Chain A
């Protein structure tokens, strides 16, 4: 088991290093262009040369990368070229907000998807058809459009929720829940449809399994078997789907945050991108890559817990 975890960690580490190198190469390759983007079109050749040197962009790319990597290992990801804010602080402050949304959406989606798929698979009939329609719509509709619709209807026409803004959970729990309910709904729908499709199929498949018939023959009720046995066996594949969804939600949150003016990594990403604040962008890519690797590791471990055959 420990070897399994270490192996996964090592693979994840390699992945993070490769991604950081590729991203670094892409972001820093055109140093002249970077300086020009910062200084504007009127900058003279001399000014650009000075700026390039000031930022250390005149060194060979590999040397820049190793310097960045060396400090990154010590937790120093540099500072913003514009605000002077520490990249580590800037990213982590906003990451908490985004992770709240993404984890919230994942959790909500998982719960709703399990309820919907159990109803659809076991009851069948019109419930099944309604769930199928929700799945197709939720799959096709981009999350941020749903977010726009929700803002239009609930916040602007009905005035039920704060249209925009974010209240910290530590300041006011009620305010916090009102500020996250619409964004989480917008994010969750797509995941609900994908996971529902998956779990519904797995339950339908499970209902025809031999061991289900045998358990029923011993006097257990179907509902109990679905909830305890079939769902447990459907859990593994569903978790893998959820992990892929989680990665997508990190990206989706960037856009949805803008709709609701929530100060997560989305705002930071957009403003750093427009200004070409390269150290900040680099930090963002790295952090998301690390999160993804950690989530995948977590999923692998839960798979092992769910499926005795994977255990070592």
Chain B
């Protein structure tokens, strides 16, 4: 009834024998298929193997308990329950198939036409879908029963029409997607007729999702059909699961088991169909049933390292970061990184994407993405060991002592809240100040980071401001709780070139005003030259070279550092310090 809108997104068209073999490895799928196979056999041969005439009533045999003669007992008219169940299976399944076939034909053909040709078909069918979706199916089926009488076949055909949006929307969406693919264009250019294209290229894409949807629709058809028949709206002469439910429910106080057999038949059938659909979908999407491993990794905290010098704020020693894989292993991406960040120092961490620099930065805040863990090493922040630290320890440090400036300004603001409320909320929580005080501070901060109309920006939503503005907001957020260490992850990469320079200037000014220490993650030597005091160069999860900025620029020791420096000289004019030393590099 209501649930006929599961979104099935399957891209691959796996060969069906391959799919079948994979299904055999999934125990739930095997049980479901086994049940459905037996059900099919019963549906085909049910009336042949039934021991009695399902409609033969006998006054002497009313509501008898199970016996050798009547294995499941008899009902209130003295009819054999087992025979009725077998024949009912035949009728119920066949009627549900009528609904499935009708909805398949309307939905798939409509979806193909509307998706492929668009225009008129598109408008017509979107209205049709809206009308069908706006009506509760059961009410319409009751209305059709009032007109057409108690035939289960007609009501299932009507239900098929009502269910057709389930296929229509699926096929329509898929076809729209495929329609714009290059290979379909290529096929048209090469002169293939529309019907050939639909047959060859489009049907292969929609085939698997249609199979999944069919299983679900069949389940819904059986549920609704038995529900209607249960209401007593069916033809009394035709045994169905629903009419047996109706009969059993009428005698529920005298013989409760009567209701159980058809109820189990309906429940198991619906369940088997849904489980099978889920299994097929899991295989086609290449995803195991979404089981997330919450592996607790206990890192080897390195305590033997010599205590850092007094002016070192952050001391990272031999930090290793790994990601747990679906197969249970761990893939290490950072292999023992060490660096020291002194108070008031701007330390650049430079490397190509994938070198592990961002992972290193996230481990300092305890904010590695899902599946990521610090495997070992030591991160000492002002005497606090952060490797293996509890969430409580991190929460005392985050915001008030260590803050973060992200790379992509837009995605780092919650789209549903105003700028003001996103800035005020952490301040009130971390600093314990009143809303009014937080508001005043935010206004001052926004003005400080160069936002012309702070009050208006505070009332704005993220999508209403520019990227440059958003990055200023995030910088204001980072310093809003008076942190002493800022971790800036490519803070200028996503910005326009002119805005980049302004943001770097702002960072430098703030750093000097507040005596901030900054760990600046970047892939841009220009940025390093502009703002950093020291720099560490990372490659493939290790630091290959570390030192004073001027030293690295003038006398790079490592071959990789040299190649990085040469690379930027090739394609752009560096700024600041680099241009004066460029010839030497």
Contacts and interface: CB of A to CB of B under 8 A. Distances in A.
Check if A and B associate.
yes
Interface of A: 15, 18-19, 22-23, 26-27, 29-30, 33, 124-125, 128-129, 132, 136-137, 139-142, 144-145, 148-149, 151-152, 156, 190-191, 194, 204, 207-211, 213-222, 224, 228-229, 232-233, 244-252, 254-255, 258-259, 266, 269-270, 272-274, 276-278, 281-282, 284-285, 288-289, 292-293, 296, 306-309
Contact of B426 (A220, A255, A258): A220
A89 B22 CA distance: 58
Contact of B413 (A145, A211, A259, A276): A211
Contacts of A284: 139, 142-143
Interface string B270-298: 11011100100000000001111010000
Interface residues of B, number: 85
Contact of B139 (A140, A208, A254): A254
B81 to A, nearest CB: 16
Nearest to B232: A270
B425 interface: yes
Given A244-B2, A247-B134, A273-B145, A124 B274 contact: no
B426 A218 contact: yes
B250 to A, nearest CB: 11
Contacts of B267: 140-142, 145
Contacts of B144: 26
B379 to A, nearest CB: 15
**10 tightest CB-CB pairs across the interface, nearest first?**
A248-B2, A219-B399, A251-B138, A251-B136, A218-B426, A217-B404, A142-B223, A140-B274, A210-B411, A308-B461
A52 to B, nearest CB: 16
Given A144-B230, A217-B365, A220-B429, A251 B139 contact: yes
Contacts of B223: 142, 145
B146 interface: yes
A269 B138 CA distance: 10
A233 B219 contact: no
Interface of B: 1-3, 5, 127, 130-131, 133-140, 142-147, 219, 223-224, 226-228, 230-233, 245, 249, 252-253, 256, 259, 263, 266-267, 270-271, 273-275, 278, 289-292, 294, 365, 367, 369-370, 391, 395, 398-400, 402-404, 406, 408, 411-417, 422, 425-426, 429-430, 461, 463, 474, 477-478, 480-481, 487
Contacts of A274: 145, 232-233
A133 B273 CA distance: 15
Contact of B474 (A139, A140, A214, A220): A214
Residue of A136, A145, A292 most packed against chain B (CB within 10 A): A145
Contact of A292 (B134, B278, B399, B404): B134
A249 B219 CA distance: 17
Given A144-B227, A244-B5, A232 B274 contact: no
B481 A219 contact: yes
Contacts of B275: 136, 140
26 contacts: A30-B147, A132-B290, A139-B3, A140-B219, A141-B267, A142-B226, A142-B227, A152-B259, A190-B3, A213-B367, A216-B398, A217-B399, A217-B404, A218-B430, A219-B429, A220-B399, A247-B133, A247-B134, A248-B137, A251-B2, A254-B138, A255-B227, A258-B230, A273-B146, A284-B139, A292-B136
A210 B406 contact: yes
Contacts of B263: 145, 148-149
Nearest to A12: B134
A229 B139 contact: no
Nearest to A254: B138
B567 to A, nearest CB: 28
A257 B384 CA distance: 63
A193 to B, nearest CB: 9
A248 B3 contact: yes
A308 B416 contact: yes
Contacts of A33: 147
B369 A245 contact: no
Given A18-B127, A220-B429, 6 more contacts: A139-B274, A141-B267, A215-B422, A249-B2, A252-B138, A281-B146
A218 B146 contact: no
Contact of B135 (A19, A152, A259, A296): A19
A283 to B, nearest CB: 11
A270 B233 contact: yes
Contacts of A228: 425
Contact of B294 (A124, A215, A246, A308): A124
Nearest to A293: B134
Contacts of A292: 134-136
Contacts, number: 243
Contacts of A190: 2-3
A246 B406 CA distance: 41
Given A145-B266, A211-B412, A269-B139, A252 B230 contact: no
A293 B7 CA distance: 23
Nearest to A265: B139
A303 to B, nearest CB: 12
B135 A288 contact: yes
A289 B403 CA distance: 54
Contacts of A276: 146-147
B99 to A, nearest CB: 14
A277 B142 CA distance: 11
Contacts of A15: 130-131, 134
A273 B130 CA distance: 25
A27 B142 CA distance: 11
B271 A23 contact: no
A16 B461 CA distance: 37
A54 B434 CA distance: 76
Contact of A22 (B131, B139, B147, B294): B131
Nearest to A200: B290
Nearest to B461: A308
A232 B415 CA distance: 10
Residue of A15, A125, A148 most packed against chain B (CB within 10 A): A148
Contacts of A124: 292, 294
A209 B278 CA distance: 27
A148 B226 CA distance: 13
Given A208-B369, A278-B146, A248 B140 contact: no
Contacts of A258: 230-231
Contact of A309 (B5, B273, B415): B415
Contacts of A232: 414, 416-417
A129 to B, nearest CB: 7
B365 A255 contact: no
Contacts of B391: 221-222
A276 B271 CA distance: 35
B406 A214 contact: yes
B403 A218 contact: yes
Contact of A245 (B2, B224, B402, B422): B2
A255 B134 contact: no
A221 B266 CA distance: 46
A139 B461 CA distance: 37
A308 B395 CA distance: 30
Nearest to A292: B134
Nearest to A19: B131
Nearest to A194: B3
